[in-house]
Structure 1
Amino acid sequence: MEKSKRIVVLGSGESGVGAAILAQKKGFEIFVSDFGAISDKYKKELEERGIAYEENKHTEELILNAAEIIKSPGIPDKAPIIKKLVEKNIPILSEIEFAGRYTQAKTICITGSNGKTTTTMLTYHILKTAGLNVGLAGNVGFSFAKQVAEENFDYYVLELSSFMLDNMYQFKADIAVLLNITPDHLDRYNYEMKNYVASKFRIIQNQTTDSHFIYCDDDTETKKALNSYAIKAEQHPFSITHTVNNGAFLEDNNITININNRETLTMTIKELALQGSHNVYNSMASGIAAKILELRNETVRESMGDFKNVAHRLEFVAKISGISFINDSKATNVNSTWYALESMGTDVVLILGGVDKGNDYSMLKSLVKEKVSSIVCLGLDNKAIHDAFEDDVEIIVNTKSAKDAVEVAYHLAKKGSTVLLSPACASFDLFKNYEDRGDQFKAAVREL
C-alpha cells in the first residue's frame, strides 16, 4: 500500500470511477468531484466502495489540497478549476498515466485522428483469438485503472485520444501505433495544428530500443513531423502506395506484412472483413502489431477476415426494399465522413449535419459528386452544408430528427442505393451524444 496521500479525481465516468477504485486499493485518500451529475450506475459503485464524492459542483477546498489530480480527458485546460490547480502546481494526470504505474503488462497503444477505435478493436480481436490474456481499455472497453485493480492481464490494447495523451508523462507504450493526423479538436490546441501534432506524438514518449513504433508512411502530417523526434523504438511503416521495409504494404491488391526475422504474412484485401482503403490501413497496423508479438499467420488472417466492426462505425443496420442503411454516427469530423464515403459504392443518400466545428467540406466535394445523389441534413443549422454542396447534388433537404431524416432518405433512395448516416459533425444540437444519434437512427430504420 502507498503512504496515504490525497488524490482527487475530476470526472465520474468510466475512467474517473475506475481511477478512484485503483487509488483506493493502493491506499490513497480519495475524493471524486464532478461538475455535472453523476450517473446512478457510477454513484452506486462509489457508494458501495465507500468513496467520497460530490456532483454538480467543484468545491475548491476539497480539491486544491490534493497531492495529485486524475482528470477526465473531457475537461479542457481552460476550465476554471484546472487553471487554479495549475497555479498551485498540483500535478494533473490521466487515468492511463495513473494506472500504468501499477501494471507490468505489455501495452499496445493506438492513436490517430481517424480509425483508432476500429484498429483497437481489431487488434484486441486478433490477440484474443490467438489466446493471449488481454484487456481492452482507453476510449473503448472498461476502465484501464479498474482492470489494473481487479484483473491480471498480460497485455492491454489501449485506444488513446490526444486528450488522454496530454496528461501522460512517464507512461510507456511497448507498441505505439499512430494511424494518421488530420485537423480535429483544434479548439483544444489554440487552433494550432503543430500543437495537435505534438499531442499525437506523445504516444512515443519514453519508448526505448526494445519498443515498437507503427506509423502510416502515407500520412503527410506524420511524415512531416517524424524528423522532429529522436525515435528510439524500432520503426514499422505501412503504406498502400509503395513498398516498405520492416512493415506492411499493398501491392496488386495483396497486403504483405514483413517484420524483421519473422514469417512474412500475405493476404488479399478481398479476405478482409473491413473494406475500403482506410480499413486496409487499419488492418495493416493491427497486423504489424500481431506479427511483432509473433502470432501465427493463420490466426492473424482468420481474425482479420471474421472481425465485426464496432457499433456506430460503418455499422450495417438493415436492407429494406433493396435499400441498405448504414450507421456511421461516430463520424464526427469531415475526415471520418470522407473515409466512409470512400468505402461506399455509388448512389448514396448521405445524412449530414449537427454541431459544425468549423468544418471545411471541400475535401468531400469530389466524392459527393461521384457517389452522392442527395443529402439529408440532420441539424439545427445546415447553412454550411447547403453552401458547400448546392452545386454538387440536386437535392438537399433539412430535417430535425432522426425519424424524419430516415423517412426522407428512404423516399429519396432507389433500389440498390445506400442511405449513409455519416454526419461529419458533433451531435449535441439534437442528441445526447453520437451513440444516441446512432441509436435513434437505427430505431427509425427499424420502424420503416
Structure 2
Amino acid sequence: MTATQPLRVALAGLGTVGAGVVKLLDANRDLIERRAGRGIEIVAVSARDRAKDRGVDIARFAWEDDTARLADRSDADVVVELVGGSDGPALALARATLAGGKSLVTANKAMMAHHGLELAQAAETAGAALKFEAAVAGGVPVIKGLRDGAAANRIDRVYGILNGTCNFILTKMEAEGRDFADVLAEAQALGFAEADASFDIDGVDAAHKLSILASLSFGTGPAFGDVATGGIRHVLAADIAEAAALGFKVRLVGVAEAGPHGLFQRVHAHLVPVDHPLAHVSGALNAVVAEGNFVGRLLFQGAGAGDGPTASAVVADLIDIARGEFGPPYAMPAASLSAPNAADSGDRRGRAYLRFMVADKVGVLAEIAAAMRDAGVSIESLMQRGAEADGSVLVAIVTHEGPERSVAHALDKLRGSPSLAGEPLWMHIL
C-alpha cells in the first residue's frame, strides 16, 4: 500500500455505466492502485432512485439526492458525470465542478459536442482536468490515441463507424436479408436500441462523436452544428443486396476531413468496399480510422458501448488524473483551437449509389437518365429489379466520380415526379 492519499471520486449516475464503474473499481482495485500510483475511491454517489437494486453495494458511499451537490463536496477531488443529456443537470454539474476547481470525467458525448469548448476553457482556467474518453467509441481508446499517440502528426482525415446500434442493424440485415423495421424491433427487444431509437438511427449520436473527433484531429472547436447528418431508417434489404452484388457493404460512416476550403463533417450511410477494414466491422462494434501524415493509417476498433467497455474508459481517465496527467482536453490549449469554417459538400468529388422506387411504366428510366444527363452526372451502371407488392420497381444507379453538387441537382430535378414512389436514397461510396 502506498501512503499517498487516494483519489476521491463523486459519481453522478448509477445506470449501466455507473454501476459498471463501481464493479470495475472493486474487481481491479489492487491493479488500478499499482498503475495509478495511488488508490481510487468513490466517496459519494447520486442517482434518481436510491432504493433501486443495481447489483452493487452503494450503502458504503455517501448519498446526495441533489446531483449538483456533488460538486460542492469537500471530500471529493473529481466528479464523474454519467447523467447524460447535452444540457440540464449534466451541464450544470459539469460547470459547477470545474468552477470549483475539481476535475471532471464524463461519458457525455452530447454535452461535449455542444459545450466542449466552454468546458475546456473552464478546466484550463481552474487548473483542473477534463477527460471524456468514454464519450466516443466506448472502451476503444481513440481519444487518447489521437490526443497523445498521434500528437506529432497532421491528421488529414478521420472517419469510422461510430454507432453500434446502427451497425448491429445493418449487419443483421446483411446476414439475414431482413428489412430495417423488423431488425430494429429485434434490436430494441435485445437492448441494443432504445425504445425511441431516433438519436441512433438518424445519425445524431454518431454526429456528436464525429464533432469531438474532428476537434481533436484538426485543432478546431467542436462544431456539431456543421455536421451534415443522415441515418439508416430508409435503407432497404434490397439496397444491401445490391451493394453486395457490386462488391460493397452498407455502413453508417462519419467522415471528417480538413482541406483548403474548410472542415468537412458528415454522418451518412455509405457503400464500403469489401476489402476496406470498415467493411469487416460487424455487430455492435465501433471502429475509427485516422490518417496521419507520418504515421499513416491508424485503426481503432472495439466495443463501443456497454457497462464493461464504457466503465473501462471512465476508470482509465481516473487513472490519468490520479497520476497527475491533466493536459489540454483537446490536445492543445483551448485558446489555440481555431473557429471551424464549414466546407461546402457540393465541391466534394466521389461516386454515389442512388436508389429509386418507381412506377412500372414506360419512360421512367429515360426520365431518370435525362435528369442525370442534364445535371452532368455520369452513370457507371444502372440496374432495375422486379416489381414489389405495391407494383413499384427498384432502380439502382452507380455514378462515375464527379462533384456532389451535380448529384444533388439531378435529384432536385426528379423531386416531385409522379414516376417516383417516395424519396430517392443517396449513399456515398467510401
TM-score, normalization by structure 1: 0.30
Higher relative contact order (CA 8 A, sep 6+): 2
